[in-house]
Copies of this chain bind each other. A is one copy, B any other.
Amino acid sequence: MDRILLDAGSGGKASHRLIHDLFFRLLDNDYLTRMDDAALLPVSGPVAVSTDGFTVSPLFFPGGDIGALAVHGTVNDVAMLGARPRFLTAAFIIEEGFLVADLERIVTSMAKAAKEAGVLVVAGDTKVVPKGAADGMFITTTGIGEVLAQPAPSGHRARPGDAVLVSGFLGDHGLAIMASREGLSFDVPVVSDCASLNGLVEAVLAAVPEVHVLRDPTRGGLITTLNEIAAQSGVEIQVEEAAVPVRPEVASGCSFLGLDPLYLANEGKLVCLVPEAHGDAALAALRAHPLGRHAARIGTAKAGPSRVVITTPLGGQRLADMLEGEQLPRIC
């Protein structure tokens, strides 16, 4: 059988074959293969929980695929609470006729991403919908982690004086998806940054006694994330545009397409706010990690209205609000 048929989601024999022959083989662990209605996990509270649906198009893109993304994205959301992600659940909604080889490639990629991040996929579900009722495949993952830092980093904890850091180049994921979807190529290939950031988070937490905010700037990009933090904490966030790391090829690709890299999704970057006194230590900890080599301090939180103000390279200032409308659908 080279395509997924409706009966693979029936709960009957074909479902069981798919579960045993593909999911259990690739994601093998004792929690999953017990096959009870729920998995029993040895975590003690408080636990951090996050869920995300993935609808990215195309399913395979430079630097990753929907399977890797579904692991990285949820691992990162859990990690942003200063927690250690330990378990994932994964629910697949698959269009009838989907290639089994593509499913195998996607689940293999999930397994690899999960192993690298140190998480186990402990429960799952598969539904198959008739041809035309979904576009290929959607995956929803939920992550469960153990809290490492108390109080946990939160968008509510930014304080005037905090240093604002990012862990590396922005906009790679968004532009890679856009280019892949539109069949564009650049002289220097643009590749998604998708990666699990839990190791990077642990490095920062170990280096700095007080991390106020951790957040990954996915949909809506850096500016949307900073606006959320400004609103939640009641601070003004000032950003030096020239300090924000953007690869030259991403800057020129965005310029060509009329996109702003500061609003483009990232899947392997974090924003970090720490008290001014710990700014240098946090930056050093980020840069010492392979996923944070290009980290930079990009600004400062101030007492002021809840907003994001960008200082341009020429010294001008402008408000940077969240976007109205949709710059780029199905980015994650």
Contact = CB atoms under 8 A, between A and B. Distances in A.
Interface of A: 5-7, 9-16, 34-55, 57, 76-78, 80-81, 83, 87, 89-93, 122-130, 132-135, 138, 140, 142-145, 147, 152, 154-156, 215-216, 218-220, 224, 228, 232, 265, 321-327, 329-330, 332
8 contacts: A10-B219, A12-B219, A40-B48, A40-B147, A45-B45, A45-B47, A53-B126, A55-B129
Contacts of A154: 34, 36
A15 to B, nearest CB: 8
Among all A-B residue pairs, the 9 with the closest Cβ atoms: A11-B219, A11-B220, A140-B140, A38-B50, A51-B89, A142-B142, A133-B135, A53-B91, A7-B326
A330 B10 CA distance: 9
Given A11-B224, A323-B12, A326-B10, A123 B46 contact: no
Contact of A6 (B48, B125, B329): B329
Nearest to A144: B49
Contacts of A140: 51, 53, 91, 93, 125, 140
A325 B51 contact: no
B92 A216 contact: no
Contacts of A37: 50, 76-78, 80-81, 215-216
B90 A329 contact: no
A126 B55 CA distance: 10
Given A40-B81, A41-B46, A133-B134, 19 more contacts: A9-B219, A12-B220, A12-B322, A14-B326, A15-B219, A34-B156, A35-B155, A35-B232, A37-B76, A38-B78, A40-B47, A51-B90, A51-B125, A51-B140, A53-B127, A54-B127, A89-B142, A132-B132, A134-B138
B41 A45 contact: yes
A276 B48 CA distance: 41
A219 to B, nearest CB: 3
Contacts of A130: 329-330
A10 B55 CA distance: 12
Given A142-B89, A329-B130, A16 B47 contact: no
Given A91-B52, A127-B55, A43 B47 contact: yes
A38 B322 contact: no
A326 B124 contact: no
Nearest to A327: B10
Contact of A10 (B41, B216, B329): B329
Given A37-B77, A51-B89, A12 B324 contact: yes
A103 to B, nearest CB: 15
A89 to B, nearest CB: 4
Contacts of A143: 38
Contacts of A51: 89-91, 123-125, 140, 142
A129 B45 contact: no
Nearest to A143: B38
B326 A12 contact: yes
Name the residue in A138, A152, A219 with the highest tally of chain B Cβ atoms < 10 Å from its Cβ: A138
Name the residue in A91, A218, A219, A220 with the highest tally of chain B Cβ atoms < 10 Å from its Cβ: A91
